[in-house]
Structure 1
Amino acid sequence: MKKHWHTLNEQDILKIFSSDLKEGLRADEAQNRYKKYGPNLLSVKKTKSALMRFLSQFNQALVYILLAAIVIKIYLGAYVDASVIFGVVLLNAIIGFVQENKALNALAALSESLVTMSTVVRSGKKQQIDAKGLVVGDIVLLQSGDKVPADMRILASRELQIDESALTGESLPVAKTNTILPQEVSLADRTNMLYSSTFVTYGTGVGIVVATGDETEIGHISKLLNDATVLETPLTRKISKFSHLLLMVILFLATVTFAVGLWHGNSWEELFMASIALSVAMIPEGLPAVMTIILAIGVARMAKRNTIIRHLPAVETLGSTTIICSDKTGTLTRNEMTVQELYCADEKFTVTGIGYAPKGEIQQEKTYDTHTNQALLELLKAGVLCNDSVLKESKESWNIEGDPTEGALLVCAKKAAIDTDALRSDMPRVDAIPFESQYQYMATLHFDKESNKYIIYIKGSVESITQRCSTFLNTNAKPVPLNKSEIFMQVEAMAEKGLRVLAFARLIIERAVTLEHENISQNLEFLGLQGMMDPPREEAIVSIKACKTAGINVKMITGDHALTATAIARQMGLIDAEQNKKSAVITGSELTYLTDEEMLTSSKNASVFARVTPEQKLRIVEALQKNNEIIAMTGDGVNDAPALRRADIGIAMGITGTEVAKEAADMVLTDDNFASIEAAVEEGRAVLENIIKFIGFILATNLGEGLVIMVAILANVTLPILPVQALWINMTAAVFLGLALAFEPQEPGLMQKPPHAPSAPILRKEMLIRIFLVGIMLLGGSFGLFELSLTHGASLEEARTVAVNIFAVGESFYLLDSRSLRFSAFRLGLFKNPWIWIGIFCMISASVALTYLPVMNKMFHTAPISLNDWGSIFAVGVLIYVIVSIEKTIRQLRSNTNKEKNKYDK
């Protein structure tokens, strides 16, 4: 029964639902409708069983390789190593299983958000019922503090204001009336409708339920959340692709090895062992475990920078982020309304300072003494007296109890050195007319003890105030004729800056009256204007600039009006002065008419999306992803949940965020500050760099081992390394050496580089060259010293021990170079990462144990070697370090030359 309820009058709606304003539904009719339509709850999509979701985590190419490695190690009798690798596979499966459950948790939180008690009228009697028992046609009574339990059309209201921020993104409470609206009015502007899970902040109202459960707007969001696809992270996709390629390469090389060996006339048993050795050598068993540890370290670092990571893969996704879609209120701004401009007596004033702390001045070219301008003083007094809020100071900050707009007026007055408490004592309130949306103003009556007169102060919209005024106060507080056109020119100038403008007036009377609307309908004295806004966070402005330098675009997606959003965007540097405003700012109503093709272009060019719906937020994210962007999306409301889940990384607000948003997100900001996102991106980039460094390091080892075994088989000579020795090399290199890279600090200039392109391979050309260079050197050193040792009369066990230790020592030296693709270990600081030296010490100690402990000799078929052998081994290690350092220096010089050339060409 989906209709445009906001376009119908009350009588028509009551008739459609066969309901009555006073009597409500009959109890038996309500019961019948409950049976027909079901409870007022969100249905949860059926999912696979927990067992099937867990087993599906093993359906990955890299896991296939590891499972194959487990079988091989069991075949070799290496049961401990097989158990370790199985533990790694199991750990990764558990992490994936938990990650997949986030959608179910989000939906459960969304469903729980509907559980509340409601006051309804049934059979002429008011009664409290569980909100899940509501049906269409029910008459519901609402008052301040209530949660709206279902979608409703307002039938009657008094000063009703609703906090719709969780649904629409609107930062301020919305005044509601029962006025009939045109059909094309957007969701956020339907002032005669109430939506499920929003809150009554002020006033009372009566509404008729028009939709429950899945048919509500929040139910629609639930469906979007249910249908939103959870994307793999960029690194997950690349690792998956890399794993498939690695699997094919290993199978191909093993097959070639086996075939060549048969051609040489070797027995199939020997060749089978050789193929196993090759497979063991080239499988990076430690990759998943070390990746998990690197991500976990990143999580710990981010926690210190006000960011809580809910899912490990989100860490590396931050390092690949190309666009951040940020909410405005509280994230880019302080969520503290602040008066910034004043106008009175034909003069404009600037108010310095931001936030609720009363620190700042009222200036007009220079600091202005408010006590010399009576008109300005009256304007500020009106803001204090026609006000229901309170400004309080705590140990940590200043806070507002009440409406943020009214709080801003109190702060402004305090900046002018007005003692607000003393003023309220000297001019006590006698009567008041609370703000009513149909009148668009609030009025208060005060007794002035000093003049012994009564004064009515009124504040509200410029239109409602100016039509009641005939004069305004000049600098000496004398009434002069009012020039309304000048007032509206000032209002327009303020509005273009994104300021919300309030007008103020007064009326002096000789005796007390009962304050009625008729008392203030004409002959008021216009006092002036106060323009305010939620100011940008200064640290967010710096962070946006840093993001741009890092090649990351920032886009604002907000439920606020376009004018306000545009002004904030300009202050924050999201929109350049030369940028076409029409293409830079798009409203939700404009998005409605864009085709999918036009959406791709508009989403790319626009910097601000204002007044958008939840479905449009999701559409924006999807369009940007189709442009091959990696999207980080912030949000705090229920309306943000689908887009948070669809984004490559969803970021929820920890302070103002709903539980639904937090469950749908990958990370949570504990301070709701955009600057923390930039800090998290920086940490994410460092994590991603360390993962790539580790992969580059470990693959050079695997390649070197594989080449040694392949060359031996192709040359039809004895294997320099046995399968169990290859396993030893892989495990010790990953744990002792590779793991040290997880603790590597950020490189210089990390945020001056562009993000990793989504389409780029996980290993760049330079890294592949380095891997092959080191692999060839390990092959030459290991195979060469193995043959040289046999020539000098060493036993097979001694020669193989030399070959194995070439990898241990060579990798230790290569680890120093693996700390950066660009910089030397000396430039980075030799001892900046002490774990490097701890890892090298552990690796060398393990190699000594492998060489000289009898139990190790027996297990790994090794034998003690001489000091001369160790000298040759360390010489190869130094040679590897020197050659890689030279290659790195040459590349850096070429890079600098190209930069200078490009700079000159420009």
Structure 2
Amino acid sequence: MDDEKNPKFPFWTLEWKDALKENNSSLKGLTSEQVSQKREKFGLNSLKESKHQSKLFLYLNQFKNPITLILLFAAILSYFLQDSSNAIIIIAIILFSTFLGFWQEKSAGDAVLKLLNLIQITATVLRDSKKIELPVEEIVPGDIIFLSAGNIIPADCLLVKENELFIDESTFTGETFPVEKRVTVMSKDTPLSKRKNSLFMGSHVVSGTCTALVIVTGKDTQFGDISSKLGTSSPPTDFEIGTKKFGELLIQITFIMVVFLFAVNTFLQKPVLESLLFTLAIAVGLTPQLLPAIISVNLSQGAKRMAEKRVIVKRLNSIENFGNMEILCSDKTGTLTKGKIKIKNTYDYLGNESKDVLLMAKMNSTLQQGFRNPIDDAINAMKIEGFGEYERISEIPYDFIRKRLTLLINDRKTKSSNQAITKGAVSQIIKICNRAIDKDGKIITIEKARDQINRFYEKLSSEGYRTLAIAYKDFGNISKISKDDEKDMIFAGFIALFDPPKKNIAETIAKLQKLKVELKIITGDNALIAKNISNQIGIKDINVVTGDEIKTMSDTAFSRKVIDVDIFAEVEPNQKEHIISTLKKAGKVVGYIGDGINDVSSIHESDVGLSVNTAVDVAKESADIVLLDNSLDVLIEGVKEGRRTFANTQKYIFMATSANFGNMFSMAGASMFLSFLPLLPKQILLTNLLTDIPSMAISSDNVDSEMIQRPLGWNLKFIKRFMIMFGVLSSVFDYITFGVLLFLFHAVEVEFQTGWFIESVMSATLIVLVIRTRNTFIKSKPSKYLLIGSIIVALSVTIFPFMPFASLLGFAPLPLIFYPILIIIVILYIVSAELTKKLFYKHLRSSM
């Protein structure tokens, strides 16, 4: 076997020592020289293409509009048949426009990559005999890595050492329960789901720890195979779906207009090739060519602003869903509360303080080797004299079905019989107990203690304390236990913990509500605790539903109930996903914030998955957006930035569609009565390019406060109405310009085309300052970059006819008296647009 030639060899058939030799590695890890050689051979541990390929693809992607390709072909044909100078100018304009789009999207992509470096997933790797943290992309075959609960498996690996290791492999097998892994040797024909000694990229550690040898990386992994066959793209967001529908609308309008104009020009016996170029140029002019680039720039700039607010966007297209989020689902721990667990006390089942319960809790939390959490950290912090005399013999890791953790321990000093200690949810501990111990050490049946256990548990819960239970059992000389041994145990008592509410959390929730974002709490804690914390933070008249109640409801009943529920208590991890999917079916845009292993499916299911930078790897990797601070205040700022980003993207769509539709309408009319083309193809393309230039600054534009106060949805019907209303208005002033040129100045072909070109670019550029806001453009100030860009373009076109290259573009000087008249026309257009805008939005509000 030669791993340098065939990285997909059946490594599960090898002893780990042999695998080390085959990979030229050792238990000291690879050397720096070996890493360099392997990096050159295998590349980065990533499923993505190289930067060179992605840049090439990004540029070629600018030509995906088939109309652009047809126009290029027609221009090339024109070059060989008759008019080489016109064809060259048309090709140059198209190439410049596509390069502009490419550069904008590339810059946006580079900015996002820098942000993603802030939240890189890392792995603990042994290099040159030292443990170091590295980004998972830098792992190479032969590396020795160390994994624990919550870690993502970064590559296909062979186990070297393990300790109660359980892996979630649902990505490959669809099996929801974790599978146990161990050091062994498997036969060559062992199916993937049965390879107990192998770890696969894309799965993650549920509990336990391990040392593993990296065998296969990147696209050569099992996950790489699946990704290449099925594709790795995420489901489209609402904005992407809306953009697609918007594009389909433009295609329909464009097709109808192209056929109509070509037929009219042919009927009027205008040159066929010239008519074809003209109609194709109109088609290109109608489509907002820079829309993909503008969207990318808006999203990347929004992501940069969000990063300044300590919100990192991993997937740009999720910004729209973030801004449009109507419901935020969250656990209370670390969101409403400080997330810093403290021990109130430990008690026996009668409510008396118990040091024995504290000792058992300390042994269970400190000696366990699975997933660490704030509760275990709080228990570990409790000081107990002589505690180091105990050792761990065996362990049944915690999982979210059993909701308990069992350790088999022994006293190294006395060498007494082994004892199992179980810590977990009160209801789950009671299930496995048939006895209880009172304050005097007397053992009684659980039935005699059950009522008292429940009463004291309810008392602690109603006072806001999170409560766990402790049980134990002697196991003699038995040194290995399993889940089947969790029975017939003795109920020892309670651990009461508290997590105080965050300061000013009530004001924060009020801010969320003001933004029309409803907060729903989904927690595993019982209803009494949930109600208590809600009262502490000022939320009154809450509606609580428990996980058991959800189980008894039909899907229809639950879909009616889910909108009105404030707190979902005592829920299981799979119920979180059910809650979120039901809210989505009700037509809501749902966000979910989580930081644990059991939150992953909920993060995936939500419209926008959120996590925090301190979360386990698998939660952080699954999230669309990562908060660098575990605070709702940070999230609120992110929501606002998401809405600003979406609002600015819509501004470009409104501007481009209305202006382009107006030009198209004017072209159609002018073609009916003119004996020549109203604009040459190259002039149409130049108009489209110049009017797009100021739009590149639209991502920096100021957004009116009312656009941030509520979620903004994609409304295709609204866009159509806006396009027609303001497109027709634009066309009215185009016809006024036609009249001035033809009847006042008696313009010939070149003068007519020059005059309309100037008016078209100037009016389309300056009108952006009007339609960018629902308020008057005087009250709502644009950003300085948008304002400067618009003014520069508007003024520059007035001197085009006097430039040396004017004749090449088909322009000629106009009488100076034309310019004062042009200014009057543009001013009247702006005033009319303001009045039309006021009527348009007034009618919109009255119809809502």
TM range (shorter): 0.5 to 0.7
Supply the AA of the counterpart residue of 1:720.
Answer: P
Instruction: Provide the aligned length of Structure 1 versus Structure 2.
Output: 679
- Tell me the alpha carbon deviations over residues 165-215 of structure 1, each in whole angstroms, 9 at most, x when there is no partner: xx999xxxxxxxxxxxxxxxxxxxxxxxxx9723459xxx9xxxxxxx9xx
Counterpart position of 1:493:
459
Counterpart position of 2:751:
798
Counterpart position of 1:840:
790
Counterpart position of 2:572:
612
Q: 1:664 aligns with which of 622, 628, 632?
A: 622
- Tell me the alpha carbon deviations over residues 778-823 of structure 1, each in whole angstroms, 9 at most, x when there is no partner: 42343233324542xx453333222112123222431221221x21
Counterpart position of 2:266:
262
- Tell me the alpha carbon deviations over residues 867-893 of structure 1, each in whole angstroms, 9 at most, x when there is no partner: 421111111111122112223334555
1:789–1:799 Cα contact (<8 Å) kept: no
For 1:68 and 1:644, the matched residues in 2 are separated by 44
Supply the AA of the counterpart residue of 2:823.
Answer: F
Counterpart position of 1:724:
682
Counterpart position of 1:742:
699
Q: Are the structure 2 counterparts of residues 786 and 539 from structure 1 closer, same or farther at C-alpha, using a change threshold of 3 Å?
A: farther
Q: 1:817 aligns with which of 763, 767, 770?
A: 770
CA deviation after TM superposition for structure 1 residue 386, in Å: 10
Greater mean deviation of Cα atoms: 712-721 or 429-438: 429-438
- Tell me the alpha carbon deviations over residues 82-136 of structure 1, each in whole angstroms, 9 at most, x when there is no partner: 223443676799899999xx9xx999979999997899xxxxxxxxxx995569x
- Tell me the alpha carbon deviations over residues 582-624 of structure 1, each in whole angstroms, 9 at most, x when there is no partner: 59974xxx39x966x667556656553754346x655555544
Counting only pairs closer than 5 Å after superposition, residues 286-365 of structure 1 correspond to structure 2 as 286-338=290-342
For 1:802 and 1:538, the matched residues in 2 are separated by 64
1:637–1:657 Cα contact (<8 Å) kept: yes
Supply the AA of the counterpart residue of 1:824.
Answer: T
Counting only pairs closer than 5 Å after superposition, residues 120-159 of structure 1 correspond to structure 2 as 133=158, 142=163, 148=165
1:235–1:762 Cα contact (<8 Å) kept: no
Counterpart position of 2:595:
636
For 1:581 and 1:538, the matched residues in 2 are separated by 27
Counterpart position of 1:775:
730
CA deviation after TM superposition for structure 1 residue 725, in Å: 1.5
Counting only pairs closer than 5 Å after superposition, residues 173-212 of structure 1 correspond to structure 2 as 197-200=205-208
CA deviation after TM superposition for structure 1 residue 440, in Å: 13
For 1:540 and 1:279, the matched residues in 2 are separated by 54
Counterpart position of 2:672:
714
For 1:279 and 1:543, the matched residues in 2 are separated by 50
Three-state SS of the structure 1 residue aligned to 2:778 is helix
Three-state SS of the structure 1 residue aligned to 2:767 is helix
Supply the AA of the counterpart residue of 2:769.
Answer: L
Three-state SS of the structure 1 residue aligned to 2:808 is helix
Q: Which has the larger radius of gyration?
A: 1
Supply the AA of the counterpart residue of 1:275.
Answer: T
Q: 1:874 aligns with which of 823, 833, 838?
A: 823
Q: Are the structure 2 counterparts of residues 97 and 731 from structure 1 closer, same or farther at C-alpha, using a change threshold of 3 Å?
A: closer
For 1:440 and 1:751, the matched residues in 2 are separated by 56
Counting only pairs closer than 5 Å after superposition, residues 347-746 of structure 1 correspond to structure 2 as 404-405=374-375, 467-469=437-439, 489=455, 491-496=457-462, 498-501=464-467, 531-538=496-503, 541-557=506-522, 560-563=524-527, 566-567=530-531, 570=534, 577=541, 579=543, 581=545, 586=550, 590=551, 606=565, 607-608=567-568, 610-613=570-573, 620-641=579-600, 643-645=602-604, 647-658=606-617, 660-736=618-694, 738-746=695-703
Which structure 1 residue ranges, 5 or more long, are not aligned? 1-27, 36-45, 120-129, 153-166, 170-194, 206-212, 214-218, 348-374, 391-401, 412-419, 444-458, 472-482, 505-525, 900-906
For 1:570 and 1:851, the matched residues in 2 are separated by 70
For 1:95 and 1:601, the matched residues in 2 are separated by 46
CA deviation after TM superposition for structure 1 residue 693, in Å: 1.0
Q: Are the structure 2 counterparts of residues 859 and 340 from structure 1 closer, same or farther at C-alpha, using a change threshold of 3 Å?
A: farther
CA deviation after TM superposition for structure 1 residue 469, in Å: 2.4
CA deviation after TM superposition for structure 1 residue 734, in Å: 0.8
1:555–1:574 Cα contact (<8 Å) kept: no
- Tell me the alpha carbon deviations over residues 331-367 of structure 1, each in whole angstroms, 9 at most, x when there is no partner: 45432114689999x99xxxxxxxxxxxxxxxxxxxx
Q: Are the structure 2 counterparts of residues 579 and 602 from structure 1 closer, same or farther at C-alpha, using a change threshold of 3 Å?
A: closer
2:544–2:568 Cα contact (<8 Å) kept: no
- Tell me the alpha carbon deviations over residues 133-165 of structure 1, each in whole angstroms, 9 at most, x when there is no partner: 569xxxx873xxxx726589xxxxxxxxxxxxx
Counterpart position of 1:7:
none
1:324–1:631 Cα contact (<8 Å) kept: yes
Q: TM-score, normalised by structure 1?
A: 0.60
Supply the AA of the counterpart residue of 1:254.
Answer: V
CA deviation after TM superposition for structure 1 residue 750, in Å: 3.1
1:700–1:771 Cα contact (<8 Å) kept: yes
Greater mean deviation of Cα atoms: 843-852 or 331-340: 331-340
Supply the AA of the counterpart residue of 2:822.
Answer: I
Q: Are the structure 2 counterparts of residues 612 and 768 from structure 1 closer, same or farther at C-alpha, using a change threshold of 3 Å?
A: farther
Supply the AA of the counterpart residue of 1:306.
Answer: R
1:61–1:240 Cα contact (<8 Å) kept: no
- Tell me the alpha carbon deviations over residues 822-864 of structure 1, each in whole angstroms, 9 at most, x when there is no partner: 2112332x3x621232112321342134132122x12321123
Q: Are the structure 2 counterparts of residues 430 and 799 from structure 1 closer, same or farther at C-alpha, using a change threshold of 3 Å?
A: closer
Three-state SS of the structure 2 residue aligned to 1:668 is strand
For 2:168 and 2:643, the matched residues in 1 are separated by 44
1:636–1:657 Cα contact (<8 Å) kept: yes
2:613–2:627 Cα contact (<8 Å) kept: yes
Counterpart position of 1:883:
832
Q: Are the structure 2 counterparts of residues 841 and 228 from structure 1 closer, same or farther at C-alpha, using a change threshold of 3 Å?
A: closer
For 1:707 and 1:487, the matched residues in 2 are separated by 79
For 2:768 and 2:346, the matched residues in 1 are separated by 63
Q: Are the structure 2 counterparts of residues 844 and 611 from structure 1 closer, same or farther at C-alpha, using a change threshold of 3 Å?
A: same
Q: Are the structure 2 counterparts of residues 134 and 599 from structure 1 closer, same or farther at C-alpha, using a change threshold of 3 Å?
A: farther
For 1:610 and 1:503, the matched residues in 2 are separated by 16
Q: Are the structure 2 counterparts of residues 730 and 539 from structure 1 closer, same or farther at C-alpha, using a change threshold of 3 Å?
A: farther
Counterpart position of 1:253:
257
Counting only pairs closer than 5 Å after superposition, residues 92-111 of structure 1 correspond to structure 2 as none
CA deviation after TM superposition for structure 1 residue 573, in Å: 8.0
1:281–1:727 Cα contact (<8 Å) kept: yes
Paired-residue identity, %: 19
Greater mean deviation of Cα atoms: 230-239 or 80-89: 80-89
Three-state SS of the structure 1 residue aligned to 2:705 is coil
Three-state SS of the structure 2 residue aligned to 1:859 is coil
Q: Are the structure 2 counterparts of residues 428 and 573 from structure 1 closer, same or farther at C-alpha, using a change threshold of 3 Å?
A: closer
